[in-house]
Amino acid sequence: MAQLSTKIKLFCEANSKTVDFTKDVLLQDDSDGKGAYIKTWNVSGLAQPTDDQIASYETAGNTEEANNNVRATRRTAYGDIGDQLDEIYKDIDAWSARIAQVKADNPKE
């Protein structure tokens, strides 16, 4: 089940708005088993969505959260950008040497 914040973010984006969860929209969970809800809505020019409007973003929210997990996994697997640049540098040298050898072994006429 998608997080309420994800569905609100998608709702706002669909209505050409951005949302700041520190001032525009405040969520609250009273730990009563009902889950999070919108406590404060201050998105300029956009009325607070109904429960049905928010629910309509469930599938898109699930997709967004799954993609966010994939992105996080990829970032970890890619490693530090400095290490990546080092690898590219080293691979470019190896590539350059290999190409030079191919050219030397197969000169143009």
pLDDT tens for each residue of 55-96:
999 999 999 998 998 888 887 877 788 877 787 788 888 776
Same domain, 17 and 37: yes
DSSP 27-60: EE--SSSS--EEEEE--TT-PPPPHHHHHTTHHH
CB of 38 within 8 A of CB of 24? no
> Residue 109's pLDDT band (boundaries 50, 70, 90)?
low
Same domain, 25 and 70: yes
Same domain, 54 and 30: yes
* Portion of the chain with pLDDT greater than 70, in percent: 94
The mean per-residue pLDDT over the stretch 13-31 comes to 97
Same domain, 9 and 47: yes
Q: Is the pTM of this model over 0.85?
A: no
CATH code of 51's domain: 3.30.56
> Domain range for residue 62?
4-78
Side-chain half-sphere CA neighbours of 79 within 13 A: 7
